[in-house]
């Protein structure tokens, strides 16, 4: 049973966390390059937030959304 858990440890430490170790070492040389993944995720999130707001505005302008408080049974 001990070998099973050591195999899981080896999988994560020796293989799956290697990119994280590389980024951690890279941060000492170039902070911007090391955080490119974070910046990319922030930009993707901002893009889809803007898209979602535009879609909500489009539905509101077409009066497709029922904003009456009695529209939901749990609000009665």
Q: The tokens of 22 are what?
A: 């590389």
The residue count for the chain: 76
Alpha helices in the chain (DSSP H): 2-11, 18-27, 31-34, 36-61
pLDDT tens-digit series, residues 14-58: 999 998 899 889 888 999 888 998 999 999 999 999 999 999 999
In 10 A of CB 51, how many CB atoms? 10
Query: Which residues touch 33 (CB under 8 Å, ≥6 apart)?
Result: 26
Domain locations in the chain as residue ranges: 18-61
On whether the pTM is more than 0.85, the answer is no
Query: Which residues touch 59 (CB under 8 Å, ≥6 apart)?
Result: 65
């Amino acid at each position: 049973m001990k070998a099973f858990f050591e195999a899981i440890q080896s999988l994560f430490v020796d293989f799956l966390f290697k990119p994280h170790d590389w980024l951690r070492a890279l941060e000492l040389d170039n902070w911007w390059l090391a955080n490119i993944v974070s910046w990319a995720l922030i930009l993707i999130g901002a893009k889809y937030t803007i898209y979602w707001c535009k879609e909500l505005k489009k539905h509101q302008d077409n009066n497709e959304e029922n904003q009456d408080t009695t529209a939901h049974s749990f609000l009665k």
